[in-house]
């Protein structure tokens, strides 16, 4: 049984919630054929949780030396994930930008992983469900009200190429 015991600071609960939340959001993206599906979403969420847990575990070192600031770990994770999300955005033919929503979802997954890393599992699930509700609900609204698509999704006769949502 010792083989199944994880060394501090990780726990199976954190791993479970990271994978659950990543899969909840990733499933929506994958079903729509968007970049960053279930695999990527689960890994971003889990990876962020691991780095935050490592930052939290630095409190022991800080109590001895007084020099560790765990908020810096969180800040660097956010910057790193922002760079990853930036890689998803591309400028296509005609200057159209694609991938903004996928990049934003990656950024949000880091937030969810951070929540889990700090022990806020219920909040992470709620944010994951809200994210899926926003992603699917917006699509429903855009189909119901074509005016919501103006300038974002629908090609206009006068313009060259408006940006696409992803």
Mean pLDDT estimate for the chain:
82
Maximum mean pLDDT: which of 1-10, 12-21, 93-102? 12-21
Domain boundary assignment for the chain? 2-149
pLDDT of 29 over the 50 cut: yes
What is the SS3 string spanning the chain? CHHHCCCCCCCHHHHHHHHHHHHHHHHHHHHCCCCCCHHHHHHHHHHHHHHHHHHHHCHHHHHHHCCCCHHHHHHHHHHHHHHHHHHHCEECHHHCEECHHHHHHHHHHHHHHHHHHCCCHHHHHHHHHHHHHHHHHHHHHHHHCHHHHECCCECCCCCCCCCCCC
* Residue 10, pLDDT score: 85
Peptide bond into 9 cis (omega under 30): yes
> How far apart (Å, rounded) are the C-alpha atoms in residues 148 and 126?
26
Of residues 95 and 29, more confidence is placed in 29
Find where tokens 């699509």 sit: 139
pLDDT digits (tens, 9 = 90+) for 38-96: 999 999 999 999 999 988 887 666 666 666 677 778 888 888 888 887 787 776 666 67
Q: How do residues 119-128 score in pLDDT, each as one tens digit? A: 999 999 999 9
| Burial class, 117, CB count within 10 angstroms (exposed 0-12 / middle 13-18 / buried 19+) | buried
């Amino acid at each position: 049984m010792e083989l199944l015991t994880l060394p501090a600071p990780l726990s199976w609960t954190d791993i479970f919630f990271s994978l659950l939340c990543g899969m909840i959001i990733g499933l929506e993206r994958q079903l729509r054929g968007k970049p960053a599906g279930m695999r990527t979403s689960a890994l971003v969420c889990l990876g962020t949780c691991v780095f935050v847990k490592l930052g939290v575990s630095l409190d022991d070192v800080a109590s001895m030396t007084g020099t560790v600031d765990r908020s810096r770990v969180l800040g660097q994770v956010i910057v790193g994930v922002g760079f990853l999300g930036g890689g998803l955005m591309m400028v296509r033919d005609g200057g159209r930008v694609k991938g903004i929503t996928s990049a934003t979802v990656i950024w949000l997954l880091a937030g969810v992983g951070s929540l889990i890393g700090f022990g806020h599992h219920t909040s992470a699930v709620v944010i994951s469900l809200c994210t899926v509700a926003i992603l699917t609900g917006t699509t429903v609204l855009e189909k119901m009200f074509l005016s919501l698509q103006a300038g974002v999704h629908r090609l206009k006769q006068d313009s060259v190429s408006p940006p696409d949502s992803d």
